[in-house]
Structure 1
């Protein structure tokens, strides 16, 4: 419909770059973004396209989550167009899929939340001498979860909250020994928690000859690579697409039996030959949908 609108000069696309490449629609998963010249003619055309889509396909558009924004127009014009479009006015800058839009991408502060997200999900410390790792705050334990999150009761009464690992004990001839300090004596119910805590940190062996290093958990070798990063982003996009599909599936006005079929299809729960084989169900005697060729 958008191509027809553009070809019939009912919609003026947004021109990008020195080559003036026309862009009018971007789609990701179930999201659609319209780009165009900031004019009421374009606003009216998009509204007609969306209404026509609903009527032709019988699907509902989630207008409650739709927003309208314009750059280079007065606030009065933007409010008028948003009211005509019956959408909320989009405020700049905004976030889309966790990425800030409408800000200077060269500023480090823009990317800090995304970097922290990758660090939290994909990185952990490999212990060396322990002079770079915060004992309670950093993810250096075997399961990659900070000790303050695993043992919050002990963290609250610790006298060494901001200490690095190297300051939490000493090297002796027999090896490393922990020296944990508390603001008060442990209560009876905390003794069991403390026992589990000691068991967990006791398996960590410090080495005074090695530096603390980051481990990239997205790669089996623990080494960062653009290939593994791309795979992480690809897997995350796939999960987001599936989540959005499930979220919007139940809003579709179709018979319950069709909804159930669609749900099973998205979850790969249909009794296909592959799925039946995984359940160790013999399919040789079952009638195939298509005749087998001789």
Structure 2
């Protein structure tokens, strides 16, 4: 025997389809108080309707707290990605051990994370550089499946996620290889800037594409 005993003063009797007189007598015998569902136990609302958005409000509020605006200003994209994968995705796990998360809650949490990752410093939504499925993918999947075949054929691409360089360099290099850097060419095609303002900011002679900016620009090779 462990020697542990129940503290009835901190316990509650939760009756289901019981007569009020019987509940009152049992509370007197046990020395506890009566309660009704839903009740909060270890941070989870037991007996609550899991399909209602308000049941998941504590989880949503906690995620919003972690994604406060000052963190979005301070952290770079790599740090934001680590925060999303390591911390934010683990917050609902405890709730998920009891309830199945409704689609509306899933979409709400993903929206919060998207705004945090791609948003601008002033809190406004920014341009998503890759699909959210790619953001959530493991590094192994990014290495093996996301790079175009003509690029992945080069042996150096296998070392991108090996930890040989700082994480921010890994992420930026990967963005360059898949052509998702916000160059003037990409911004003009997205309607962010005028199509006439798509020339290279360095040489001013050709369209500022990923290939031109990192490979073909004559000014680049003079640096």
| TM-score > 0.5, shorter chain as reference | no
Of Structure 1 and Structure 2, which has the larger fraction of its residues in strand? 1
Larger radius of gyration: 1
> What's the TM-score once normalised by structure 2's chain length?
0.32
> What's the TM-score once normalised by structure 1's chain length?
0.25
Of Structure 1 and Structure 2, which has the larger fraction of its residues in helix? 2
Q: Which has the higher contact order (CA 8 A, sep 6+)?
A: 1
